[in-house]
Amino acid sequence: MIPDPNHSATKQAQEPTPQQVKDALVRFQSAFLYYSSGVVDVPTQAKMNEWRCANNDMDKGQPIPPASKKEIWTKKTLTWKIVNTPNTLSEAQIRSAAHEAFDQWTKATGFQFIESTQIPDITITFYDVPQSNLRIAGSASKPHNSHIILDKNQDWAYKSQAPMGISLYHTLLHEIGHVLGLPHSFYR
Ligand SMILES: [Zn+2]
């Protein structure tokens, strides 16, 4: 790890000021096109409680740009592989959800996606994420050796199965966007 001079061990963690909290809330609210009250109102609280993607929303207060030309895939056919399965869905259901999500991206972008048993371009792995209050369901790395990481202990759902769970198809749709170099889509 490269030491960050702004986060040295000698620098004490400081509580944010009320103004910093308000500014952060306004940024959060405006990102989701909510009324920017700067206070934790009911819709803001509900949005904060949603399970979500761990990729950064912003970089130093600025929206994250799409991946640069240097970073994006130069090939148009990408391989993918499901590494393991979570507790709530069968392997067949996961593969089905993944095929459906990749097919959607083929329609939108022209990329071809092929399931592979070899070392793939994109891995989809369910990790045993320790319990945290961050409410993170998944994340994905940028193009080239992309890893989509999903919380193994989530109540993953696909189609009619577990209707109260989190939709694996929609989560994969979102995370594949990151793999293709896109920042978050805030509006689902
Ligand atoms: Zn995301």
Planar angle of CA 41, 155, 96, nearest 5 degrees = 120
In the reported structure, the alpha carbon of residue 39 is separated from the centroid of ligand 1 by a whole-number distance in angstroms of 24
List 148's β-bridge partners, or say none: 124, 140
List 52's β-bridge partners, or say none: 136
Domains belonging to the chain, first-starting first, are 5-49 (no CATH), 77-179 (3.40.390.10)
Q: Distance between CA 35 and CA 31 in Å, rounded?
A: 10
Tens of pLDDT, residue by residue, the chain (188 residues): 444 545 544 455 678 898 988 988 888 888 777 888 898 888 888 887 777 777 777 777 677 777 787 778 889 999 999 999 988 899 999 999 999 999 999 999 999 999 999 999 999 999 887 765 556 677 777 777 789 988 888 888 988 655 578 889 999 998 999 899 888 765 44
In the reported structure, the alpha carbon of residue 63 is separated from the centroid of ligand 1 by a whole-number distance in angstroms of 12
- Express each pLDDT in 82-99 by its tens digit: 999 988 899 999 999 999
In the reported structure, the alpha carbon of residue 15 is separated from the centroid of ligand 1 by a whole-number distance in angstroms of 27
In the reported structure, the alpha carbon of residue 117 is separated from the centroid of ligand 1 by a whole-number distance in angstroms of 26
The first and second tokens of residue 102, run together, are 């990749």
**DSSP calls for 93-152:** HHHHHHHHHHHHHHHHH--EEEE-SSS-SEEEEEE-PPP-SS-EEEEE--SSSEEEEEET
Phi-psi region of 38 (alpha: psi -120 to 50; beta: other; left: phi over 0): left
- Express each pLDDT in 37-72 by its tens digit: 898 888 888 887 777 777 777 777 677 777 787 778
In the reported structure, the alpha carbon of residue 3 is separated from the centroid of ligand 1 by a whole-number distance in angstroms of 26
**pLDDT at residue 1, rounded to an integer:** 44
Give the amino acid at 87.
N
